Amino acid sequence: MTALTRLLLSTPFRLALIYMGAFILAAGLTVGFIAWRANELLTTSVVETLRAEVVGLREQYQIGGPARLSAIIAERAADPGSSLYLLVDSAGQRAAGNLRQVPLELRDGNQRGVFTYMPQSGPAQGRPRVAVGVLFDLPGSLTLVVGRDIEDLRRFAWTMGRLGLWSVVILSALGIGGGLLISRSVLRRIETVNETTRTIMAGDLSGRIPLNGSGDELDRLAESLNAMLARIEELMGALREVSDNIAHDLKTPLNRLRNRAEAALRSSEGAGIYRDGLVKTIEEADELIKTFNSLLLIARLEGGAVAESMERLNPAFIIADVAELYEPVADEAGLSLSVSAEPGLTLTANRELVSQAVANLVDNAIKYSPDGARTGGNGANPVAPISIVLKRVADDIEIAVGDRGPGVAPEDRQRALQRFVRLEKSRSRPGSGLGLSLVAAVARLHGGSIRLEDNAPGLRAVLQLPAAGPNHAVPVFAGQLREH
């Protein structure tokens, strides 16, 4: 298919033609109606004028008889202009006037109408012209015809008609030209979208649709598509990284499982060794199951599979539950938890997911608190380096968990939210690197975000959620507010 064929078959060009056709049809009907009404009004106006003149001539006839009427007609016919007269006597001979004979169009009972005549003098002598006239009979078998020449008006109307026709032709040409230009411009921009999609299908996920800066519908569509492409690229990159990390992080525990099972089988010490091997195998299997459960939960969150379970709740009870759950763990580690919650806050969210997200943040804070902080410096009194703060910021609810650990470098904070990313190079601490990525997935599901900040010293993780819930949340009524 050639470029011209694509252009002519394009939707913008067809829409332009349809619009142009509708406009020309409407304009033609309007102009035709106006011309018809104008011609009718003109003819009616001329006929009314002639009738008034006929009334005056009849009065002159009643006053002075045929002689007076003939003199008046002769006098008026001698004046140059568009007035036409003819007085015929009882013998059918012309008695006065500037018409040679009674027009054929006014005979046989037609006492008014349009007729053609041949001028007897003047520049138009010998050429037929068009006039409007009326015929009536007078006493004494006399016939009087009074008319007005409308040839000039007819030519003017014809000229205006031709101008209208040329206007339609010019409008059609402009419409077709405009349709071609619009179609070409739209097709050029659509072709850039096609080129980008072909580039992406070829494997280059970095391709983006260029914007022309106009801010029109196509620009806004391109921005949305670019955001979608960026998200797809991010997900594909995350998928590749997840595959690499699964191969790296899950290979080690699987090897440990195999080695322990093999060591237990080779041992000759009896049931005690077998039992110990089985216990450690179950522990490793539980850790693997937890890892896969976290992966499945993240996949469900990113797919929006639990968005319908949103409800109206009080976030203060969530952080209170999490603090109560982790307080013994913090005490055992020589730490303490402090909770600060702004009263009267409500949130539209999934209770279990938000609880899981806050629990992951607190678990990370405990896990990465330094050894000195765990003993309070002298090994006696626990310090309070871990804080949970709940507050409202504009239309959002913020849940911040801070610690006094090593923190995260600014350049690593975004990467730390990805799956299987563990900034601890030795990987000596337990974990799979899925905690913060699960928090990020929960935040995205709720239309919020997670950001990592400097706690000076330590890390401050802020979970920010819109108080009214995400745009796709189901309607929530006041009676749905649940308290623990």
Q: Which domains does the chain have, with CATH numbers?
A: 3-156 (3.30.450), 305-480 (3.30.565.10)
Q: Cβ neighbours of residue 182 under 8 Å, at least 6 residues apart?
A: 12, 13, 16
For residue 261, how many other CB atoms are within 10 A of its CB? 15
271-302 vs 217-249: helix axis angle to the nearest 10? 180
Decide: helix, strand or coil at residue 216: coil
Mind listing the pLDDT tens digit of every residue in the chain (484 residues)? 566 676 566 666 677 778 777 877 887 788 778 777 777 777 777 778 888 888 888 888 888 888 888 899 888 888 877 888 888 888 888 888 888 888 888 877 667 788 888 887 767 677 888 888 888 888 888 888 898 888 887 787 778 778 877 887 887 788 777 777 777 777 777 788 888 888 888 878 788 888 877 777 778 888 888 888 888 887 787 677 666 666 666 676 777 778 878 877 777 776 777 788 788 888 778 777 876 776 666 666 655 555 566 788 999 999 999 999 999 988 888 888 899 999 999 998 888 888 888 998 998 888 888 754 444 444 444 455 799 999 999 899 999 999 988 888 888 778 777 655 655 554 445 555 677 888 888 888 888 999 999 888 888 999 999 988 776 443 333 233 333 3
* Res 421: pLDDT: 61
Are 143 and 110 spatial neighbours (Cβ–Cβ below 8 Å)?
Answer: no
How far apart CA 351 and CA 418 sit, in angstroms, is 23
Angle, CA of 220, 440 and 403, to the nearest 5°: 135
CA 223 to chain centre: 11
Q: Supply the pLDDT for residue 10.
A: 65
CB count, 10 Å around CB of 27? 14
CB 446 within 8 A of CB 465: yes
Specify the residue for token string 């990159």. Answer: 237
Q: What is the pLDDT of residue 233?
A: 83
Give me the half-sphere count of Cα atoms (radius 13 Å) on the Cβ side of residue 292: 6
Query: What is the 8-class DSSP label of residue 99?
Result: -
Q: How many residues does the chain have?
A: 484
- β-pair type (112-117, 94-97): unpaired
CB atoms within 10 A of CB 288: 16
